[in-house]
Amino acid sequence: AQSVTQPDIHITVSEGASLELRCNYSYGATPYLFWYVQSPGQGLQLLLKYFSGDTLVQGIKGFEAEFKRSQSSFNLRKPSVHWSDAAEYFCAVGGKTSYDKVIFGPGTSLSVIP
Amino acid sequence: GAVVSQHPSRVICKSGTSVKIECRSLDFQATTMFWYRQFPKQSLMLMATSNEGSKATYEQGVEKDKFLINHASLTLSTLTVTSAHPEDSSFYICSARGPSRDRGAYNEQFFGPGTRLTVL
């Protein structure tokens, strides 16, 4: 069955500290992987995506993620967190065809301490 | 490019009334659109997949007669919540996916800003 897990429900980091948000997936075919960010009451913003090729993916706002097929993981990282990064982060997995659904993880809420 | 809009952004209605939410792809043609529901502090749950010109495919547990989906054109899908009740209050998000530009290429989903529905 297709699924996405984000082990950390809530994470608190100090501003300027590094960040890593974990994501594990289960998918029967070649996965297409995404990280989205959502501020309170807002829609989703795509941070980055992985389709193929280089397993280290660069995204917007200084975020990057690394695809590790052997671990079925796609963890999101940022070397130095800013207070404006406080939000909800969702990892998602989808398939290749037009009709493939995108399955979202439960989300990780990030708080940033000044 | 690849902008998806939703209207209205917020709606408050009385219990028992019907509410229509529009999802539009502004600068591309969307052969497939998806409707999600999000409860406070929870993830997005896929409700249904709509393909232009055909009936929507609903996820297990979603009432077809309560959540009517119409994808009448390549740029518009509508979700109508019929006989709304307070438990239908939620954040509804749509996404649109265009046709593959290249054979075998992945056609990405683009998300709308969401609609906050409150049923009194």
CB spacing of B113 vs A49 below 8 angstroms: no
Q: Which residue of B has its CA nearest to A49?
A: B108
Average the pLDDT over B78-90 and give the result: 96
The answer, for A53 touching chain B at a CB cutoff of 8 Å, is: no
- Given this model, what pLDDT does residue B108 score? 75
The answer, for A109 touching chain B at a CB cutoff of 8 Å, is: yes
B79, B67 in Cβ contact below 8 A?
A: yes
Q: How far apart are the first and last CA of chain B?
A: 37
- Given this model, what pLDDT does residue B99 score? 61
- Given this model, what pLDDT does residue A89 score? 97
A49, A33 in Cβ contact below 8 A?
A: yes
pLDDT in tens, B8-60: 999 999 999 999 999 999 988 888 899 999 988 889 999 999 888 888 999 99
CB spacing of A96 vs B46 below 8 angstroms: no
In the numeric block, the tokens 């009385």 are attached to B14
d(CA A49, CA A35): 6
Q: What average pLDDT is seen over chain A? A: 92
Residue A20 CB partners (closer than 8 Å, separation 6+): A75, A76, A77
B75, B25 in Cβ contact below 8 A?
A: yes
- Given this model, what pLDDT does residue A101 score? 80
Q: What is the dihedral of CA B57, B63, B68, B72, to 10 degrees?
A: 0
Residues of B in contact with A102 (CB under 8 A): 34, 46, 95, 109
d(CA A71, CA A73): 5
Residues of B in contact with A87 (CB under 8 A): none
d(CA B60, CA B62): 6
Q: Spell out which chain B residues touch chain A, with contact meaning CB-CB distance below 8 angstroms.
A: 31-32, 34, 41-46, 49, 51, 91, 93, 95, 97, 99-100, 104, 106-109, 111-114, 116
> Does position A97 have pLDDT exceeding 80, yes or no?
no
pLDDT in tens, A42-84: 888 999 999 888 999 999 999 999 999 999 999 999 999 999 9
pLDDT band at B104 (very low <50, low <70, confident <90, very high): very low
B92: tokens are 């509804």
CB spacing of B93 vs A44 below 8 angstroms: yes
d(CA A4, CA A103): 7
A81: tokens are 């967190």
Q: What is the dihedral of CA B17, B6, B32, B89, to 10 degrees?
A: -40
In the numeric block, the tokens 């939703």 are attached to B6
- Given this model, what pLDDT does residue A69 score? 92
Average the pLDDT over B71-92 and give the result: 94
CB spacing of B106 vs A101 below 8 angstroms: no
CA distance to partner chain B, nearest, from residue A81 (Å): 22
d(CA B30, CA A4): 26
